[in-house]
Chains A and B, each alone.
Chain A
Amino acid sequence: MPLASYQTSVPVVVDDAKCIADKGCTVCVDVCPLDVLRISDMTGKAYMAYDECWYCMPCEADCPTGAVTVNIPYLLR
């Protein structure tokens, strides 16, 4: 059966200007318990690839440059 994707606003936001994933950093991707973050092939920066967040915060707490912000996802606000 055909598949479609539907839009969702994701809680984890990465500030590309601060993110150093293009220098080889993978800290946020490494620590995420749900494994939802990835490094973009296009920008070289981290981003939330899968909307499966527990809004737990290791990505934000462990980021060495303060580039990651965890927001409360919209439906919970």
Chain B
Amino acid sequence: MALDQIVDGLSEVSCDVLVIGGGTAGPMAALKAKLKNPKANVVLLEKANVKRSGAISMGMDGLNNAVIPGYATPEQYTKEITIANDGIVDQKAVYKYAQNCYKIVEELDSFGIRFLKNENGDYAVKKVHHIGSYVLPMPNGETVKKALYRQLRRARILISNRYMATRLLKSADGRIAGAISVNTRTAEMLVIKAKAVILCMGAAGRLGLPTSGYMFGTYENAANSGDGYAMAYHAGAALANLECYQINPLIKDYNGPACAYVAGPFGAFTANNEGSRFIECDYWSGQMMLEFYNELLSGKGPVFLQLKHLHPDTISEIETTLHKVERPTRGLFQQGRGVDYRKESIEMHISEIGFCSGHSASGVFVDDNARTTVPGLYAAGDMASVPHNYMLGAFTNGAVAGTDAMEFAENHDFAEFDAADVATERDRVMAPTKREDGIPPNQVEYKTRRLVNDYLQPPKVTRKYELGMRRLAETRHDMQEHMIARNAHELLRALEVQSIMDCADMAVHASLYREESRWGLYHWRTDFPEKDNENWFCHTLLSKQDGKMTSEKRAVEPYVVPIADDEKDLYDKQRIRASA
């Protein structure tokens, strides 16, 4: 049989709660939904394999945002995240996370995931953020996915691997009715009717193009092609603050974290070519990224993570962690380059752009119950708008989504969708397989992502954005009329390109709408270089209205935790000033 041969087929199944995406938030959402009602059917749909999918495929070195009693309070954390986001935060969801996350830490501990403790048996929390201490190392962090998988099996969650969801289904009155998916190895289509749907599909991490020459050499797991963002958009859900891009400081070429969160608490720091510190704090904020960018261009670059001044035993301890979890090929990479952390600093650079609430604030809009603006549709993890979520946020808000979605499913029957919507989607999905001749998906993807780099990367220039928009429209035309897929695997890539193209369009639209600069490098518009609190102290919501991409303002909800005037700009003071 030919490799990944296309099989014609369409079947239909149903469940109470459908969770799409089996990375971090998804397994927790599915688990909580099932535990709330063990008699209900919960399906966990995954484009890859739940055993090793998502951002934590190979585990994680620690929690970046744990609010542990005795070290931090929910109020303090909420304040810190609000300031780090230039004030554009609906605090209710952040505060709820901060209150709930300790319970989730204890639950993860009961799953067999260990967290670093000191000699007194207390959690050994480290300081990385500007104000408070929230970083908690995970000594056996490489076991996270295995521990989660055990729980899923025990709870009898129905797992469907290698199915890519492509569109959501809704009833005439706008309620969620299910999703359409396609098998990534056979191209057979599967309609899943559901009373509630939870999107946990990760960041839009394949938007910008790494300079390495590898399209899949992204910072994010390259499977995170922004499908969740595209699906939410086409279902009419609102997406928040997409102009607040994700851009990260990473190991040059390798494109993985350096990782100051692990090494910083031991005394490592980000240094310029003179070996001097230039930023106050290594926590990833837009303001910090702007200083990083400025340093690279100032003539004082390259920028490095410096460990060589530390005790050799300390360096070995850091090295063991960095080379074991999250991106374990890092050790191989450094070895190949002949970089010994004891002698040499680690060269860093700036990543490609993407959407990710996990690290910034660009995501599908959700409230403090993880509800999107579409009834019955939820979102959690990197793709949902709760800012600076990270892994623990994905677990905690995934749990919130699972519980609330099951409650929704208990109170609603299946919504009816129009069979014509399935037919239309089937035509769209299969179109690249019906052409005899055309352009392969990898070339459409390369061109789209090169345009993203050339025209969309900050600093954002209006004229460049307008040119980018035109070029993207031409490429979209090529994609819709000429892209070909010769087997099911190429079809998977062809579908991903369509998500990437939608995300690129949304990035342009959202960025042009907000006529000010905010969040440091993330939304630095040269034509509007100042922060304009009078007109733009608000969220922006992007959505599809009458088939057209539309943006609108949404007021920031009144704060739960007040911020004093002299605290508001703490994150603006990232650059270390020369001492007198």
> Which positions 20-68 of chain A face chain B at CB distance < 8 Å?
30-35, 38, 41, 49-50, 52-58, 61-62
| B333 pairs with A31, CB closer than 8 A | no
**B interface secondary structure, majority:** loop
Q: Beyond A31-B51, A57-B329, is A3–B217 a contact (Cβ under 8 Å)?
A: no
Residues in B neighbouring A55, C-beta threshold 8 A: 217, 329
Residues 317-336 of B, flagged 1 when their CB comes within 8 A of A and 0 if not, give 00000000001110011001
- Closest beta carbon of chain B to A77's beta carbon, Å: 5
On whether the beta carbons of B49 and A31 are closer than 8 Å, the reply is: yes
Q: How far is the CA of A32 from the CA of B47 in the complex (A)?
A: 11
Q: Are B3 and A30 in contact, with the CB atoms below 8 A?
A: no
B221 lies within 8 A of A56 (CB): yes
Nearest A residue to B223 via CB reads A33
Instruction: Verify if B52 is at the interface (C-beta below 8 Å from A).
Output: yes
Closest partner residue, chain A, to B443 (CB atom): A3
* Total A-B contacts with CB atoms under 8 angstroms apart: 90
Q: How far is the CB of B4 from chain A (nearest CB, A)?
A: 8
Q: Which of A31, A52, A76 contacts B52 (CB 8 A)?
A: A31
Q: A1-B439, A3-B440, A34-B223 are in contact. Are A76 and B217 (CB under 8 A)?
A: yes
- How far is it, in angstroms, between the C-alpha of A71 and the C-alpha of B336 when the chains are bound? 10
- Number of residues of chain A lying within 8 A (CB) of chain B: 28
Nearest Cβ on chain B to A12's Cβ, whole angstroms: 11
Residue B212 interfacial (CB < 8 Å): yes
Let me know if B58 is at the binding interface, CB within 8 A: yes
Q: Is the CB of B184 within 8 A of A57?
A: no
Contact for B184 among A30, A35, A53, CB less than 8 A: A35
Q: With a CB–CB cut-off of 8 A, which chain B residues contact A76?
A: 212, 214, 217, 253-254, 333
Is the Cβ of A38 less than 8 Å from the Cβ of B329?
A: no
Chain B residues within 8 Å of A50, by CB: 489
Q: Would you give the shortest CB distance from B64 to chain A, in whole angstroms?
A: 20
Whether the pair A32, B329 counts as a contact (CB closer than 8 A) is no
Query: Are A56 and B51 in contact, CB atoms less than 8 angstroms apart?
Result: no
The answer to whether A14 has its CB under 8 Å from any CB of chain B is: no
Whether A58 lies near B58 (C-beta < 8 A) is: yes
Number of interface residues of B (CB under 8 A): 41
Pick from B3, B333, B437: contact of A49, CB below 8 A. Answer: B3
In the complex, what distance in Å separates the CA atom of A7 from the CA atom of B162? 27
Q: Is the CB of A58 within 8 A of B52?
A: yes
Chain B proximity of A2: nearest CB distance (Å): 9
What B residues does A61 contact at CB under 8 A? 58, 328
Partner of A57, one of B58, B222, B489: B58
Contact for A35 among B328, B439, B489, CB less than 8 A: B489
Say how far A18's CB is from chain B's closest CB, in angstroms.
19
Measured in the bound complex, the distance between the Cα atoms of B184 and A38 in whole Å is 13
CB contacts under 8 Å to A, within B307-349, are: 327-329, 332-333, 336-337
Q: Provide the residues of chain B in CB contact with A73, threshold 8 Å.
A: 214, 217
Nearest chain B residue, comparing its CB with the CB of A50: B489
B437/A35 in contact, CB under 8 A = no
Cα A58 to Cα B440 in complex, Å, equals 28
Q: How far is the CB of A42 from chain B (nearest CB, A)?
A: 12
Min Cβ gap B348→A in Å is 15
Given contacts A1-B439, A54-B216, A56-B57, whether A32 and B222 have CB atoms under 8 Å apart is no
Q: Flag whether B24 is at the interface (Cβ < 8 A).
A: no
| B159 on interface, CB distance cutoff 8 Å | no
Given contacts A31-B49, A34-B48, contact A72 B218 (CB under 8 A): no
B329 A30 Cβ-Cβ under 8 A: no
Q: How far apart are B186's CB and chain A's nearest CB, in angstroms? A: 12
Contacts of B437 in A (CB 8 A): 1
Please, how many angstroms separate the alpha-carbon atoms of A54 and B58 in the complex? Answer: 12
Choice from B3, B51, B217, B253 contacting A54 with Cβ under 8 Å: B217
Q: Can you pick out 17 interface pairs between chain A and chain B where the beta carbons lie within 8 Å of each other?
A: A1-B437, A33-B54, A33-B223, A35-B184, A35-B185, A50-B489, A52-B216, A54-B217, A54-B218, A56-B221, A56-B329, A57-B329, A58-B52, A62-B51, A71-B332, A72-B254, A72-B333
What 19 additional pairs, Cβ within 8 angstroms, besides A33-B53, A71-B332, A72-B254? A1-B439, A32-B48, A33-B57, A33-B221, A34-B216, A35-B184, A35-B185, A49-B489, A52-B222, A52-B493, A53-B214, A53-B216, A55-B329, A57-B58, A57-B328, A70-B329, A70-B332, A72-B332, A76-B212
A residues engaging B (CB < 8 A)? 1, 3, 30-35, 38, 41, 49-50, 52-58, 61-62, 70-73, 75-77
Would you list the 8 A-B pairs with minimal beta carbon distance, nearest first?
A: A58-B52, A75-B213, A31-B52, A33-B48, A55-B329, A54-B222, A52-B216, A33-B223
